[in-house]
């Protein structure tokens, strides 16, 4: 199998799985228990939190574990809108956010919130100036992702944070950094966002564990899940110690020779562009800066057919975000592509393990698809 869908999820290294197994079988104490075995688990969780916090460049006491990036996104909205309930009911976001953001915004509109969704430029970019122009005195929250999961565009979160201090200092800022953490510069301090969402399974960790950074401007964040007082009273539920251990181990492994890994992924992406653009009529979609994501289109060839054909050849690519399960995505729609181009968009995404030989195989398979299948659009 050739796996070129690292933006959907990533392979779990054996060291991560072994660490999780060790915790499941040897360190299974409940961190909330008061006896020594439970407190040993508490110390382990604190250590794992510290390692992930160091990678995110934030204080450990401001990083809280969740079940996934979607939960982190939703908790950020809950906390921000509660704190700013007297500021107003206006939200600024983009039309290319993850479904966790856009679906939450649709629900909030039913509760009386007004949502401004900013369209990207045709190259996928969204300048900070456009975000700040949309901010009003009643804007409670701005949410702009760090890296788009389909185009790879990197958005100017730090610039937005700086501008908000002048435009409306009460407006809180959230960034979904799930695709950016340990793939582009992603320092909570440097970004300046009040909330930063991250997830383990995009960097070689297990599914089912994420985290939310909550900055100092957020006063007593409102829990998404009230209950037993875990995570300093802000996120209830017994800590998923094995998943947390796997998250921390994945972070540690990814940080080893990180610059070399990022440079390798960037070279693979450039090589993929070189090889894929040799296919007649193939188009590169957007101008993403992230090193691990590349979207292309073969106009006239429906993307799901392309994905299915390559899957039969043992090559995994996607027709956009995995969260859309084969349906056209909001990102493709927001780019305002010509209809035949939009219907033919597929995404390749890379990891430190991806090789040029795998790119060659994918390019050959795409060329065969074009030569042996009739266009249907």
Enumerate the active-site residues.
Answer: 323
Contact predicate 200/171, CB 8 Å: no
Q: Beta 195-199 vs 210-214: how paired, if at all?
A: antiparallel
Contact predicate 117/93, CB 8 Å: yes
Q: DSSP secondary-structure letter at 25?
A: H
Strands (E), 276-317: 283-285, 293-297, 315-316
- What DSSP assignment string belongs to 67-104? SSHHHHHHHHHHHHHHHTTTT-SEEEEETTS-HHHHHH
**Percentages helix, strand, coil for the chain, rounded to the nearest 5?**
45, 15, 40
| Cα–Cα distance for residue pair 52/212, rounded to 1 Å | 11
| Cα–Cα distance for residue pair 110/352, rounded to 1 Å | 43
Contact predicate 177/186, CB 8 Å: yes
Residue 176, burial from CB neighbour count under 10 angstroms (0-12, 13-18, 19+)? buried
Contact predicate 266/123, CB 8 Å: no
Return the closest-CA partner of residue 202 out of 116, 83, 321: 321
Return the closest-CA partner of residue 180 out of 63, 295, 289, 266: 289
- What DSSP assignment string belongs to 170-203? T-EEEEE-TTTTTTS---HHHH--SEEEEESTTT
């Amino acid at each position: 199998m050739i796996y070129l869908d690292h933006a959907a999820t990533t392979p779990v290294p054996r060291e991560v799985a072994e660490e999780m197994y060790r915790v499941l079988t040897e360190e299974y104490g409940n961190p909330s228990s008061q006896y020594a075995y439970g407190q040993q688990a508490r110390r382990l969780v604190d250590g794992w939190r510290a390692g992930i916090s160091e990678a995110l460049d934030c204080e450990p006491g401001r990083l809280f574990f969740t079940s996934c990036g979607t939960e982190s996104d939703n908790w950020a909205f809950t906390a921000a809108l509660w704190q700013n309930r007297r500021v107003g009911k206006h939200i600024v976001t983009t039309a290319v956010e993850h479904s966790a953001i856009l679906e939450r915004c649709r629900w909030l509109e039913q509760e009386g919130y007004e949502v401004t969704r900013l369209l990207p430029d045709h190259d996928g970019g969204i300048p900070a100036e456009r975000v700040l122009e949309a901010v009003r005195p009643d804007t409670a929250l701005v949410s702009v992702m760090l890296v788009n999961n389909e185009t790879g565009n990197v958005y100017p979160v730090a610039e937005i944070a700086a501008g908000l201090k002048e435009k409306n200092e009460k407006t809180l800022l959230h960034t979904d950094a799930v695709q950016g953490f340990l793939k582009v510069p992603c320092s909570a301090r440097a970004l300046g966002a009040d909330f930063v969402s991250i997830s383990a399974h995009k960097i070689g960790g297990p599914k089912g564990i994420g985290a939310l950074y909550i900055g100092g401007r957020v006063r007593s964040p409102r829990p998404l899940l009230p209950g037993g007082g875990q995570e300093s009273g802000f996120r209830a539920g017994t800590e998923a110690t094995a998943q947390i251990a796997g998250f921390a181990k994945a972070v540690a492994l990814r940080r080893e020779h990180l610059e070399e890994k990022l440079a390798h992924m960037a070279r693979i992406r450039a090589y993929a562009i070189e090889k894929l653009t040799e296919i007649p009529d193939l188009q590169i979609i957007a101008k993403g800066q992230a090193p691990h994501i590349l979207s292309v289109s073969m106009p006239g060839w429906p993307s799901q057919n392309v994905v299915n054909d390559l899957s039969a050849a043992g090559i995994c690519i996607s027709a956009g975000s995995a969260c859309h399960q084969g349906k056209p995505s909001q990102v493709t729609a927001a780019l305002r592509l010509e209809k035949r181009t939009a219907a033919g968009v597929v995404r390749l995404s890379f990891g430190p393990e991806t090789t040029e030989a795998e790119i060659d195989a994918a390019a050959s398979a795409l060329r065969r698809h074009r030569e042996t299948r009739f266009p249907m659009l």
